Structure 1
Amino acid sequence: MIHFDSWKDLMNPEIYIQYGGFWLVLFIIFAETGLFVGFFLPGDSLLFVSGIFAKDIIAETFGSTNSDFLDTTILATCVSLAAIIGNEVGYYFGYKTGPILYEKKDTFLFKKKYLFKAHDFFEEHGRLAVIMARFLPIVRTFTPIVAGIVKMDKKKFFFDNVIGAFLWSFMLIFAGHYLNELFRQQFGIELKTHLEIIILIIVLITTLPIIIKFFITKKEI
């Protein structure tokens, strides 16, 4: 059973990997990309850290293939599938209940402002938003819902959904795995022992576009 000492632990991907392993990682990716209540869950940092532990995760779940590349590929593929399913659920939810969400009052798990941000992002970037949103925290949770609300063509959404899911999953998981290998071999540094710094850097990088967009919009107003 996962035990959280503070709310900060909710954003710590290592805890999910340590206590839940492979299946919990898949569920979190599904929830973070398909359920509006999952916007606070770690996405990018979870994938990157999962890449660092990819060999251990696969070995504990299915047994090691004795190939770092194959183990990492299996993990990235499964995560991609979870992300695809999550977005399809989000799209269907938006397609069926969209108008109701705009009338829903804010709660702890639902913030209407995030829905509006995702809508503006979708309107600005169109179909490309489905792919780009994968790399933006919060926005990726609400973009498929907005795509459903505006009745985006289902086949086009699915196509963009698949591309975005595989790009996001493979890039971050492989980056985590092979950067860890690079730092260990070239500099004798284990990224596993510096996860707090790594997570902080990833959070700053992924939220920077949102922060810049916020200040630009505020300045224009």
Structure 2
Amino acid sequence: MDFMQFLDMVLHVDKMGQLIEQYGTLIYVVLFAIVFCETAFVIFPFLPGDSLLFIAGTFCAAGAMDPWFLIAILLFASISGNSINYWIGSTVGHKVMASNSRWIDKAALEKTHAFYEKHGGKTIVLARFTPIVRTFAPFVAGFSEMSHRNFQFYNVLGAILWIVSLVLAGYYFGHIPLIKNNLSIIVMVGVGAAIVPIILGLAWKFGRKLFVKKSS
């Protein structure tokens, strides 16, 4: 699988069946990589998460993949991804916050930090079901100096609830005609939930800077 095919998989997860037919068990590696990258690195908040898990579950129901093996490898991907993200946050988090890197959405980081300060460890669990915040939460926990033991407890709990619930939701409900025939819409909703807040955030920043510039 070359990079363009991988990118097509990321952007059109509803076409997962074509890749399963072409690459067979290699699809497990692709799904592992997507979930791992989304949870491990703050520069990938746009990767599909919820929609990917749900659609993967629908293909498990069709017999294309083994649901329990899929759940196992995705649990490993999400737990290890969050752990690496936590380590990165604890190591270089303050430097990243002080930098002006265009690769990092600092507004999203600051919002996640405020949410984390208010809700504590629950954020790690709740963030699993929230696009964008899901990617930033472990990083924020790291540079906020949350204890590693507490982090791992919520990390594992959140991963189990997120992976198991969405894969099994796809497995048990993905065969319903209304859902099965509208997978593209489900994907677009999932992608939109991740991308629209970023676009709105950038537009707000641009508008605020423009207003301040005109006022001065």
**TM class, shorter-length:** 0.7 to 0.9
* Residue segments in structure 2 that go unaligned for 5+ positions in a row: 202-216
CA contact (8 A) 2:87 2:139 kept: yes
1:139 aligns with 2:112: no
Gaps of 5+ in 1: 59-70, 184-188, 215-221
Q: Distance in 1 between matches of 2:86 and 2:57?
A: 28
Alpha-carbon distance in structure 2 between the residues aligned to 1:57 and 1:152:
40
User: Secondary structure in 1 aligned to 2:46?
Assistant: coil
TM-score (norm 2): 0.77
Identify the residue that residue 169 of structure 1 maps to in structure 2: 163
Task: Tell me the equivalent position of 2:182.
Answer: 194
Query: 1: CA distance between counterparts of 2:101 and 2:8?
Result: 22
TM-score (norm 1): 0.76
| Aligned mate of 2:89, from 73, 78, 94 | 94
Higher relative contact order (CA 8 A, sep 6+): 2
What is the aligned partner in structure 2 of residue 50 from structure 1? 56
Which of 65, 70, 73 is the matching residue for 1:75? 70
CA distance in structure 1 between the partners assigned to 2:183 and 2:130 by the alignment: 20
Give the 3-state SS of the residue equivalent to 1:42 in structure 2: coil
Residue equivalent to 1:23: 29
How big is the alpha-carbon RMSD for the aligned residues of Structure 1 and Structure 2?
2.6
Verify: 1:117 aligned to 2:148, yes or no. no
1:73 Cα deviation (Å)?
Answer: 2.1
CA distance in 1, matches of 2:183, 2:2: 19
Give, in angstroms, the shift of residue 49 of structure 1.
Answer: 0.6
Residue type of the alignment partner of 2:188: L
Report how many residues are paired. 189
